[in-house]
């Protein structure tokens, strides 16, 4: 942002202006295949994220070890006892993480042998619950990724989730007597429109005034949080309740669940996968997506090619917001059935991370969402069984992300070949003067 005015440098700088953010984002969203060789398929893209995850788990283990009192006590006795205790702690912790997120293998096998349907479902519930947690990540991650592809940095996912949730909750409880086939899509749509509006505003500001979307989406977040606080204590407050909570939505607006209680797995997950395919199709198979990607990758070339940079920027922010709004709608209609304060617990902010982790590609976003959902879901059990604070998962996510964001570290650790520098001059319009 060293050159935030519209003016281009008068003397042409010898090398195109690059700043760290631009280079970083470019590095992430556009991995360079080694010079002179064709792409080597998915492995090329997945290598860094996979190594980052492995490194994150290793570092997480170290954190677990140094924060566990018993390990210190065992080291007091002897070195080997300490090592054994450290190993035991990590195995217990990660075992609980696994069991809590995927399921306990022994229990699954036992249930399958017993052949009792209810028990089988309960044995698979940790896995299904991970999918439930992953669903809002998928929606919001797709939103942020779409923004990245179009060269906008949507930090406002969290706010868009809130507005989307509020809109869909309102449609969900206030309209009565509608058949599900109308009410449910309407409530989802309301979420998309609400989030879309919340993305449109900073998009419009960027296109028309040059106001940077990072600043404006952050501001929009605060407006969204306080707006939903006000809604819950005022217009949308549940009659007769002392808590800031909205009325429950009508059954006709509920995303149907596939199994009985306590299994919460619902239709939202499949809708999310469907939307992921739609986003993929939109970005890579349509002229509109080509416009968006070109504007994102090089706004100058986009203008040269006759594309409308301003309109595409606005469209990208609105679409990004709409997808994030769907994440909010999904939580209200599929999990909570009402709007409560602080229901989102940072899905929007995590989604920025996982869009990066997923290379801003819909497939990558789905995979990264599954990872984040799984980690978050398993963390609860890890806390209960192994007495490991749930925050360790935040550390894990942060470390993984740091490695993704700085692939040079991973390349150095694992001695990977550096990509060619031929693309050093590429721009990502979000950073630096854009027009």
Partner 1 sequence: MTPVLELKEITKRFPGVLANDHISLTLEPGEIHALLGENGAGKTTLMNILYGLYQPDEGQIIVRGSVQKFHSPSDAIHAGIGMVHQHFMLVPVFTVTENVMLGDEPLRPGGFLDRKTAAQHIRDVSQQYNLMVDPDSYVKDLPVGVQQRVEIIKLLYRKADILIFDEPTAVLTPQEADDLFKIMRGLTQQGKSIIFITHKLREVLDVADRITVIRRGKVVGSTLPSEADQEKLAAMMVGRAVDLELQKEIARVGDVVLQVNDLSVLDERSQLAVDEISFDVRAGEVLGVAGVQGNGQTELVEALTGLRQPLSGSVHLTGHDITRAHPRQITELGTAHVPEDRQRDGLVLTFPIYENLVLQTYYLSPNARGINIHWDDIHKEAQTLIKEYDIRTPSAETTAGSLSGGNQQKVIVARELSRPIKLLIASQPTRGLDVGSIEYIHTQILRRRDDGVGVLLVSTELDEIMQLSDRIAVMFRGKIVAVVNAADVTKEYIGLLMAGVHPEDARGSNANNGSEKEETRLTGGGSGDE
**Applying CB under 8 A, does 277 fall inside the site for partner 1?**
no
**Applying CB under 8 A, does 287 fall inside the site for partner 1?**
yes
DSSP string, 213-263: HHHHHHHHHHHHHHHHHHHHHTTTPPTT-SSSBPPPPPGGGSPPBSS-TT-
Reference 259, options 128, 67, 428; nearest CA is: 128
- Least separation, in Å, of the C-beta of 302 and partner 1? 8
Which residue reads 């996912």 in tokens?
157
The CA distance from 426 to 424, in Å, is 6
Which of residues 303 and 411 has its CB atom nearest to partner 1 in the complex?
303
Tell me how many residues contact partner 1 (CB under 8 A): 43
**Applying CB under 8 A, does 20 fall inside the site for partner 1?**
no
| SS3 state at 37 | coil
Interface region with partner 1, contact rule CB under 8 A, candidates 43-51, 190-198, 284-292, 317-325: 284-292
The CA distance from 361 to 183, in Å, is 31
CA-CA-CA-CA torsion sign (86, 90, 96, 99): negative
Interface region with partner 1, contact rule CB under 8 A, candidates 25-33, 74-82, 154-162, 399-407: 25-33
Instruction: Print the binding letters for residues 37-66 with partner 1: x by CB under 8 A, - otherwise.
Output: xxx---------------------------
**Applying CB under 8 A, does 117 fall inside the site for partner 1?**
no
The CA distance from 6 to 21, in Å, is 18
CA-CA-CA-CA torsion sign (266, 268, 269, 270): positive
Which of residues 277 and 304 has its CB atom nearest to partner 1 in the complex?
304
**Quick one: DSSP state of residue 335?**
I
Of residues 78-97, those binding partner 1 (CB under 8 A): none
**Applying CB under 8 A, does 311 fall inside the site for partner 1?**
no
Interface region with partner 1, contact rule CB under 8 A, candidates 185-193, 240-248, 355-363, 419-427: 419-427
**Applying CB under 8 A, does 177 fall inside the site for partner 1?**
no
341, 244 Cβ separation under 8 angstroms: yes
- Least separation, in Å, of the C-beta of 203 and partner 1? 20
Which of residues 6 and 261 has its CB atom nearest to partner 1 in the complex?
6
Please count the other Cβ atoms lying within 10 Å of the Cβ belonging to residue 164.
Answer: 37
31, 360 Cβ separation under 8 angstroms: no
Instruction: Print the binding letters for residues 335-374 with partner 1: x by CB under 8 A, - otherwise.
Output: ----------------------------------------
**Applying CB under 8 A, does 415 fall inside the site for partner 1?**
no
Among 4, 174, 286, 345, binds partner 1 (CB under 8 A): 286
Which of residues 241 and 420 has its CB atom nearest to partner 1 in the complex?
420
Which residue reads 């989604």 in tokens?
351
Among 15, 69, 79, 239, binds partner 1 (CB under 8 A): 15
**Applying CB under 8 A, does 4 fall inside the site for partner 1?**
no
**Applying CB under 8 A, does 256 fall inside the site for partner 1?**
no
Angle CA(106)–CA(107)–CA(109) in degrees, nearest 5? Answer: 65
Of residues 196-235, those binding partner 1 (CB under 8 A): none
Interface region with partner 1, contact rule CB under 8 A, candidates 5-13, 138-146, 182-190, 243-251: 5-13
**Applying CB under 8 A, does 391 fall inside the site for partner 1?**
no
The CA distance from 419 to 411, in Å, is 10
223, 211 Cβ separation under 8 angstroms: no
Which residues does residue 340 pair with via DSSP β-bridges, in sequence order?
Answer: 245
Which of residues 37 and 176 has its CB atom nearest to partner 1 in the complex?
37
Among 87, 277, 288, 414, binds partner 1 (CB under 8 A): 288
Among 114, 305, 384, 390, binds partner 1 (CB under 8 A): 305
The CA distance from 433 to 294, in Å, is 17
| SS3 state at 320 | helix
Plot region of 115 (φ>0 → left; ψ -120 to 50 → alpha; else → beta): left
The CA distance from 430 to 23, in Å, is 11
- Least separation, in Å, of the C-beta of 17 and partner 1? 8
List residues binding partner 1 (CB under 8 A). Answer: 6-16, 26, 30, 32-33, 35-39, 285-288, 290, 293-294, 297-298, 300-307, 420, 422-423, 425-427
């Amino acid at each position: 942002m060293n050159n935030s005015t519209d003016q281009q440098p008068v003397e042409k700088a010898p090398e195109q202006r690059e700043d760290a953010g631009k280079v970083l984002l470019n590095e992430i969203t556009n991995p360079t295949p080694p010079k002179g060789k064709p792409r080597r398929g998915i492995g090329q893209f997945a290598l860094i994220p996979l190594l980052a995850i492995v490194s994150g788990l290793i570092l997480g283990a170290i954190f677990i070890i140094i924060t566990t009192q018993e390990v210190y006590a065992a080291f007091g006795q002897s070195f080997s006892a300490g090592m054994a205790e450290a190993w035991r702690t990590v195995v217990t912790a990660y075992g609980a993480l696994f069991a809590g997120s995927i399921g306990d293998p022994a229990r699954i096998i036992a249930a399958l042998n017993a052949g009792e349907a209810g028990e089988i479902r309960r044995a698979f519930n940790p896995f299904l619950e991970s999918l439930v947690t992953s669903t809002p990540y998928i929606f919001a991650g797709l939103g942020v990724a779409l923004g990245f592809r179009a060269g906008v940095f949507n930090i406002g996912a969290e706010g868009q989730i809130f507005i989307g949730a509020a809109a869909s909750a309102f449609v969900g409880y206030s309209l009565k007597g509608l058949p599900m086939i109308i009410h449910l899509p309407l409530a989802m749509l309301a979420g998309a429109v609400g989030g879309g509006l919340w993305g449109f505003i900073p998009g419009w500001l960027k296109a028309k005034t040059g106001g940077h979307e990072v600043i404006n989406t952050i501001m929009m977040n605060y407006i969204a949080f306080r707006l939903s606080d006000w809604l819950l204590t005022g217009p949308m407050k549940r009659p007769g309740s002392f808590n800031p909570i909205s009325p429950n939505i009508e059954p006709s607006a509920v995303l149907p669940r596939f199994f009985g209680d306590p299994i919460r797995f619902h239709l939202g997950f499949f809708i999310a996968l469907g939307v992921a395919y739609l986003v993929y199709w939109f970005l890579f198979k349509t002229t509109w997506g080509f416009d968006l990607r070109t504007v994102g990758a090089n706004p100058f070339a986009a203008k040269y090619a006759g594309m409308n940079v301003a309109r595409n920027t606005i469209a990208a922010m609105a679409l990004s917001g709409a997808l994030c709004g769907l994440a909010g709608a999904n939580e209200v209609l599929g999990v909570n059935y009402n709007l409560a304060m602080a229901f989102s617990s940072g899905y929007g902010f995590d989604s920025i991370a996982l869009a990066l982790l997923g290379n801003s590609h819909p497939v990558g976003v789905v995979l990264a969402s599954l990872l984040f959902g799984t980690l978050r879901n398993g963390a609860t059990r890890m806390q209960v069984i192994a007495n490991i604070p749930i925050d360790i998962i935040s550390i894990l996510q942060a470390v993984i992300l740091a490695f993704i964001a700085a692939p040079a570290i991973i390349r150095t650790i694992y001695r990977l070949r550096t990509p060619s520098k031929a693309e050093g001059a590429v721009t990502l319009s979000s950073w630096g003067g854009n027009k």
